């Protein structure tokens, strides 16, 4: 009797792992790691596998969100930042001193965390680096599970894509565009083509459009307005979809003329010198010959 051996089942890839924005971050969450994850566009602070703080050069910090609209006096934040190490400890100091209501601080803290976390989890060209450190800790401010931060980041990406699929305006300097002129920025294939229709600008978007000057980026405008960077991106993409602004095209290198070919080099050479027919030289030659004959 012949025995037939059943082959082992093929391994099934974890669908959740395939959708992970950062496999390293998910591994750190599983091992309940504490430390700092540095990525190309931002930094995530972990305590026992949860995100307690996030920073990104593309997003306003907690200090901007607290002081821009009068929630906290700028001088009060500066005193707390001088007395504490880092914005998270400064916020806890303000909470303990009673200068901020707990609800307002928690709301601004979560807004800043999700805002910077969105950029920190953006696709990067360099690998992330994690530094194990006992400094980050779970304090009175709320922390966020890694899965919640990734889920919110994916939701925000999808929202921006539906508004306007070309992400060039997210990071480039912005310039105003005439809504009646055809778009010349090379939109994404799924973007509508042809001239943009004139649409009214809401007051919130008007504040963004008024600061478009060819040098400011969306992140610069968000800091000036004291708004979350993601909410500013929503306004920027809506304005881009309506044809009110577009990203400034990068300036490439000045083209140089190609080196001349061999025929061109031959044509550019100076004409050859004419043969020497100076009579003085001929006379000197005859004198030399006569002297040699003596």
pLDDT of residue 11: 38
Half-sphere exposure of 98 (CA within 13 A, CB side): 0
pLDDT of residue 184: 43
**Mean pLDDT, the chain, whole residue set:** 83
Handedness of CA 111, 116, 121, 123 (dihedral sign): positive
In the chain, which residues have pLDDT < 70?
Answer: 1-19, 178-198, 251-287, 290-294
pLDDT of residue 243: 93
pLDDT of residue 254: 56
pLDDT of residue 138: 75
pLDDT of residue 181: 44
Angle at 210 between CA 204 and CA 215, to 5 degrees: 125
Kindly report, residue by residue over 169-215, the tens digit of the pLDDT. 999 999 998 644 444 444 444 544 544 455 789 999 999 999 999 99
CA distances from 164 to 61, 187, 188, 260, 266 (A): 26, 9, 9, 46, 56
pLDDT of residue 38: 97
pLDDT of residue 284: 64
């Amino acid at each position: 009797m012949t025995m037939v051996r059943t082959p082992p089942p093929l391994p099934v890839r974890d669908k959740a792992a395939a959708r992970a924005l950062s496999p390293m971050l998910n591994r750190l969450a599983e091992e309940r790691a504490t430390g700092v994850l540095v990525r190309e566009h931002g930094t995530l602070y972990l305590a026992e596998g949860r995100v307690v703080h996030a920073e990104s050069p593309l997003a306003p910090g907690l200090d901007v969100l607290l002081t821009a609209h009068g929630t906290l006096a700028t001088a009060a934040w500066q005193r707390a930042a001088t007395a504490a190490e880092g914005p998270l400890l400064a916020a806890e100091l303000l909470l303990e001193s009673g200068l901020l209501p707990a609800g307002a601080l928690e709301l601004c803290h979560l807004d800043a965390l999700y805002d910077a976390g969105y950029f920190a989890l953006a696709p990067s060209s360099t690998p992330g680096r994690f530094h194990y450190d006992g400094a980050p800790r779970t304090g009175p401010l709320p922390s966020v599970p890694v899965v919640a931060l990734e889920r919110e980041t994916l939701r925000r990406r999808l929202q921006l894509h539906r508004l306007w699929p070309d992400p060039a305006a997210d990071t480039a300097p912005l310039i105003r565009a005439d809504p009646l002129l055809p778009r010349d920025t090379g939109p994404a294939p799924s973007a509508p083509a042809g001239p943009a229709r004139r649409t009214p600008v809401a007051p919130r978007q008007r504040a963004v459009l008024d600061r478009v000057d060819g040098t400011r980026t969306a992140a610069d405008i968000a800091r000036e307005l004291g708004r979350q960077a993601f909410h500013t991106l929503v306004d920027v993409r809506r304005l881009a979809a309506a044809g009110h602004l577009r990203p400034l095209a990068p300036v490439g290198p000045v083209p140089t003329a190609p080196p001349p070919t061999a025929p061109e080099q031959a044509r550019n050479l100076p004409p050859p010198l004419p043969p020497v027919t100076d009579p003085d030289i001929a006379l000197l030659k005859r004198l030399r010959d006569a002297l040699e004959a003596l």
